[in-house]
Structure 1
């Protein structure tokens, strides 16, 4: 992605890379000192990852657990800060281990500087971990 790409362009590109299961390229969109936060993470799950290396380690096996098929709902909202967007999205696919469905809604607050993601707050729904018949808790970690 060119450094002059908008945060929305970069984010859309990141979704395409996730669907392509190209985790190394997805990690390549991050600044070396990038931070991802999970404010609603349940006990035992990470709440904050600091640095590209930590993010890469966390995401390395993502496709082994979740097989994303589509992001059928994506709304990107500009903010008064030109380097920040708020995203509402829904990801669908299947849990690799069980073959069960994966259907998750997210809100993300993403900051981009010089064409790289510097901050990502991922407000995902931890209640899916408690849904009967899902093995998400064991599959996603």
Structure 2
């Protein structure tokens, strides 16, 4: 695994432990995190390490350790860019409901730190685990 791939593996480990302090160690100062499918009020774009850490600091109050597994990392054509596929297996703390989702994420790793990250997941699975009801129109 390339050094960029190792940084992504470390990200997965950190999220499985919900160790937000350790997350700060692998983020670039100017990191940009995009969560384009995240439901409101989660921001779609968060810029800068401190802002990203503030966003992620809420995770330990929302979910148990994320249980990311089935990780596959593939380098892209551009140096330092990767796509990763993985799944989660955790519990929403407020509802006690299981939260199992599938993810495709892109990462840019620069100088051993994540400088950009975009995570794509099914927002309906996320909302249902929080107790929302999703129904097709009659």
- The TM-score bracket by the shorter chain reads 0.7 to 0.9
Distance 2:58 2:41 in 1: 18
1:12 is aligned to 9
Aligned to 1:22: 19
Partner of residue 36, structure 2: 39
* Separation in 2, partners of 1:15, 1:136: 26
Query: Which whole-Å CA distance do the structure 1 matches of 2:50 and 2:131 have between them?
Result: 25
* Structural mapping, 1:94-133, within 5 Å: 94-131=91-128
The superposition leaves residues 3-41 of structure 1 with CA deviations (integer Å, 9 ceiling, x where unpaired) of xx6111001111111112211111221111100011223
Q: How many residues align?
A: 131
Q: Structure 2: where are the runs of 5+ without partners?
A: 133-138
Partners of 1:38 and 1:123 within 8 A in 2: yes
CA distance in 1, matches of 2:8, 2:131: 25
Q: How high is the TM-score relative to the length of structure 2?
A: 0.86
Q: Is the 8 A contact 1:129 1:136 kept in 2?
A: no
Alpha-carbon separation, structure 1, partners of 2:99 and 2:127 = 13
Name whichever structure is richer in strand by fraction: 1
Aligned equivalents of 1:20 and 1:42: distance in 2?
24
Q: List 4+ stretches of structure 1 deviating above 3 A.
A: none
Q: Unaligned stretches of 5+ in structure 1?
A: none
For the pair 1:135 / 2:130, whether they are aligned, the reply is yes
Output the CA distance in 2 between the equivalents of 1:16 and 1:76. 14
* RMSD of Structure 2 on Structure 1 (CA): 1.7
